[in-house]
Amino acid sequence: MERAAIPPRLVAAAAFTLPAFSLALPSGYSWGALLLVIAGVMAWRAGLVLPRDASFWAFVTAVLAMALMRLVRVDVDWSGSIGSSDFDRTVKYLLALVAWIAVTRHAPPAQWLQHGCWTGAWLAGLTAAWQWHGLGWERAAGYTNAIQFGDIAVLLACWSALWWRHAATRIMRLWAAGSVAAGLYAAIASGTRGAWIVAPVLLLWIAWVRMRDGSPGGSARFRRRWRMIGMLATGLMFIAMALPVTRDSIGERVALAWQEWERFRTAGESDNSVGHRLAHWRLAWSMGLQRPWVGWSEAGYAAEKQRLVEAGAAPNVVLRFGHAHHEWLDLWAKAGLWGVATLALFYAVPLVICGQALRRLRSEPPGLARETAVTIAACGVVTVVGFIGFGMTQVLFAHNSGHMIYLFMNVLWLGVLRAHTPGTHHPHASAA
């Protein structure tokens, strides 16, 4: 094999591996990320000339800004002893930029991403079934936490739903439909209420995108809408079939959430799932108001929480977790307006790039290339919106899976999108 042929093959393998094994193996998302980084190093050594377009540098800026903010205010305790593990997440962000170099030179094949998403959703569902029914676990958690497992499973289901239209045969359509159902099943089995709330929002947005997309002909629009109705019906049928098995579990968790909210509101009880989140949110908000510019830092946040608990000004439950169970409030307390602005940029850059692509593509003539670009851009939007929604009740960026999925899946979506966007210079595009 010629050396020049290795990086494109590594990128293609990563496009499949990263979503496919994200929940099915311990740190399964790391294997695809590693392949992208190796490809990026090889592209760099080959004498890569960096692109000049604004989207490339906007993503670089957002990633570097997030890495710097976390390094200074969140990941490293500069007032105490510093170890090499403190820089672990900073290194991941820098490696994501190396992967970004790889996909700007060798575009990930769209079909490999398509099959990777379908396979990943199926494997997530099988993993959930094995843990929930086979092992008798109360909540399926894969090889991470139940919350992260449920959140990522929802993303896999939504990505799979968007790729459904590209299934060329009846078998592939069944495979695609099953992947949506499997991903939703994994989210149900995880017992993650935040995922249950976000999933319908994402699926409705996907339906809206598909309703508006396609050729302007009346018959084509009619068929497109019925395909979408069929997709939604399949998902609803699956959920309906799953409910007899999970009715008690789902009903109990929904009722429990309401009871915990009432107990916090009336008696200030915080020693439960909902109550401790509300206690964390209230505390983080008040701490951020005290130091609104750069926050308390990670170490300062922990120390001030300890002081407030000892003084009787905060409940003991806030000491159980190192974050505020809310992405925005957590950074508000630890890094102030700097942290909030950086997080907004981190979300906004891929969201704006994909959103603008969707708008531009409306005027493009119908065809396979346009359909692929619309799907990719929509997957990028789903990724960002999903993370924003999940972050309202959990800090995904407090966990390795959150960083890796957001960083490297965005690298893949934006890399494929560059290859399918009219006028974008891509010297070695290999998208299918």
Q: Comparing 254 with 126, which gets the higher pLDDT?
A: 126
Does some domain include residue 278? no
Distance (Å, rounded) from C-alpha 141 to C-alpha 401? 12
Q: Is the pLDDT of residue 2 over 80?
A: no
Report pLDDT for 52: 82
Distance (Å, rounded) from C-alpha 278 to C-alpha 260? 10
Q: Comparing 357 with 5, which gets the higher pLDDT?
A: 357
Q: Is the pLDDT of residue 419 over 90?
A: no
Among 232-241, 279-288, 392-401, the range scoring the smallest mean pLDDT is 232-241
Q: Is the pLDDT of residue 404 over 50?
A: yes
Does some domain include residue 271? no
* Highest-scoring range by mean pLDDT, 2-6, 22-26, 282-286, 368-372: 22-26
Q: Is the pLDDT of residue 148 over 70?
A: yes
Picking from 122, 128, 113, the residue whose alpha carbon sits closest to that of residue 162 is: 113
**149 confidence band (pLDDT: 50, 70, 90):** very high
Q: Is the pLDDT of residue 26 over 90?
A: yes
**82 confidence band (pLDDT: 50, 70, 90):** confident
Does some domain include residue 285? no
| Domain around 164 | 3-258+328-420
- For 89, other C-beta atoms within 10 Å of its C-beta total 22
Residue type, 19: P
> Quick one: tokens of 374?
């619309």
pLDDT digits (tens, 9 = 90+) for 171-195: 998 899 889 989 998 998 898 888 9
> Quick one: tokens of 388?
């924003």
Report pLDDT for 242: 54
pLDDT digits (tens, 9 = 90+) for 198-223: 998 998 899 888 877 654 444 455 45
pTM of the predicted model over 0.85: yes
Among 214-223, 354-363, 396-405, the range scoring the smallest mean pLDDT is 214-223
**420 confidence band (pLDDT: 50, 70, 90):** confident
Report pLDDT for 428: 46
Picking from 384, 284, 280, the residue whose alpha carbon sits closest to that of residue 335 is: 284
Report pLDDT for 207: 84
Report pLDDT for 43: 86
Burial 146-179 (b: 16+ CB within 10 A, else e): bbbbbbbbbbbbbbbbbbbbbbeeeebbebbbbb
- DSSP structure class, residue 296: -
Report pLDDT for 219: 45
Report pLDDT for 159: 97
| φ, ψ dihedrals at 187, nearest 5° | -65, -40
**253 confidence band (pLDDT: 50, 70, 90):** low
Average pLDDT along the chain: 85
Does some domain include residue 286? no
Does some domain include residue 315? no
pLDDT digits (tens, 9 = 90+) for 28-66: 999 999 999 999 999 888 777 778 889 999 999 999 999
Helix %, strand %, coil % for the chain, to 5?
75, 0, 25
Distance (Å, rounded) from C-alpha 188 to C-alpha 167? 25
Give the rounded percent of residues in the chain with a pLDDT score beyond 90.
58
**431 confidence band (pLDDT: 50, 70, 90):** very low
Does some domain include residue 87? yes
Q: Which residues does 49 contact at the CB level (< 8 Å), separation at least 6?
A: none
Give the rounded percent of residues in the chain with a pLDDT score beyond 70.
82
> Quick one: tokens of 28?
């399964």
Counted domains in the chain: 1
pLDDT digits (tens, 9 = 90+) for 264-296: 455 554 565 566 787 888 899 999 999 999 999
Does some domain include residue 229? yes
pLDDT digits (tens, 9 = 90+) for 305-331: 999 989 988 888 888 888 898 999 999
Does some domain include residue 357? yes
